[in-house]
């Protein structure tokens, strides 16, 4: 039995199938973890969602910002635009409600043994206690029968340094942005969402979030995607796994047991 962590698929279903052939994935024996952003940009968001959903308990995936954007479109928190055209196939599918319900019940963070699976990153000021607390608060808010109101409240930008705010909505909006959109922070650990290039291209006052020491998670391995410009990288206990398949690059899997890396070209 092996566990494979796969970076952002972004609707690249055919490369995903080739990657699973490469690793000789067995649905009965192996497990797949996905870093989120199953949909958008690539041409086969609908096929990807249907397939990953069909894997059942052999698969764990966390929500990414593009997955949340799909939820926002479904609940009309955001209006359809031409740039969302790869999501229309999902929104207009006969099984759209079933897929959307499955998607919105995915975790925002998965913590298992020494591993933390998250889409974008873990804020450098968060303790493990804070991470568990935010997970416990965020997931029911997104899954709620009132999820349209929750998504409307949680969809937007936040500024300022982290504080464990007593304002429930403010705290969750800040947390959701960090977990699904963060790349750079300033040296006071305030996220900056305007930069998405490779390290070295950012303004001098910004650093990648994982370069700010967080002793609270030093004994955990953090597995994340979101940052295609990074490609595959490993820094101490941090693994970046989005290798830009939707941009014509590769789709990558990391086998946790021996940290072996497998990749296939996009060919899309």
Residue 145 pLDDT: 62
Residue 148 pLDDT: 77
Q: What is the pLDDT of residues 173-198, one digit of tens each?
A: 999 999 999 999 998 899 999 999 99
Average pLDDT over residues 32-38: 98
Percent of the chain topping pLDDT 70: 97
Q: Which of 142-151, 159-168, 197-206 has the highest mean pLDDT?
A: 197-206
What is the domain-level CATH number for residue 211? 3.60.21.10
Task: Please determine, for residue 73, whether its predicted confidence score (pLDDT) is greater than 60.
Answer: yes
State the Cα angle at 35 between 30 and 38, rounded to 5°.
95
Least confident of 77-91, 146-160, 204-218: 146-160
Domain with 48, as residue range(s), is 3-265
Residue 166 pLDDT: 76
Number of domains, the chain: 1
Average pLDDT over residues 11-35: 97
Q: Which two tokens stand for residue 10?
A: 């972004």
Q: What is the dihedral of CA 118, 123, 128, 132, to 10 degrees?
A: -60
């Amino acid at each position: 039995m092996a566990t494979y962590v796969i970076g952002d698929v972004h609707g690249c279903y055919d490369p995903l199938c080739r990657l699973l052939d490469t690793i000789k994935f067995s649905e009965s024996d192996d497990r797949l973890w996905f870093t989120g952003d199953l949909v958008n940009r690539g041409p086969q968001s609908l096929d990807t969602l249907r397939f990953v959903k069909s894997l059942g308990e052999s698969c764990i995936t966390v929500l990414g910002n593009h997955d949340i954007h799909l939820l926002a479109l479904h609940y009309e928190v955001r209006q359809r635009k031409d740039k969302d055209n790869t999501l229309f196939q999902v929104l207009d599918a006969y099984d759209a409600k079933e897929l959307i319900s499955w998607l919105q019940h995915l975790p925002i963070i998965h913590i298992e043994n020494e591993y933390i699976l998250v889409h974008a990153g873990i804020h450098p000021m968060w303790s493990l206690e804070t991470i568990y607390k935010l997970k416990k608060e965020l997931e029911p808010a997104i899954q709620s029968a009132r999820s349209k109101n929750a998504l409307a409240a949680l969809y937007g930008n936040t500024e300022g340094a982290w504080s464990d705010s007593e304002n429930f909505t403010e705290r969750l909006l800040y947390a959701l942005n960090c977990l699904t959109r963060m790349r750079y922070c300033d040296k006071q650990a305030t996220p900056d969402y305007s930069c998405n290039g490779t390290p070295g291209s950012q303004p001098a006052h910004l650093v990648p979030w994982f370069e700010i020491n967080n002793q609270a998670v030093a004994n955990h391995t953090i597995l994340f995607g979101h940052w295609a410009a990074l490609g595959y990288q490993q820094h101490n206990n941090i693994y970046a796994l989005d290798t830009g398949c939707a941009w014509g690059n590769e789709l990558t899997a990391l086998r946790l047991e021996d940290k072996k890396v497998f990749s296939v070209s996009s060919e899309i």
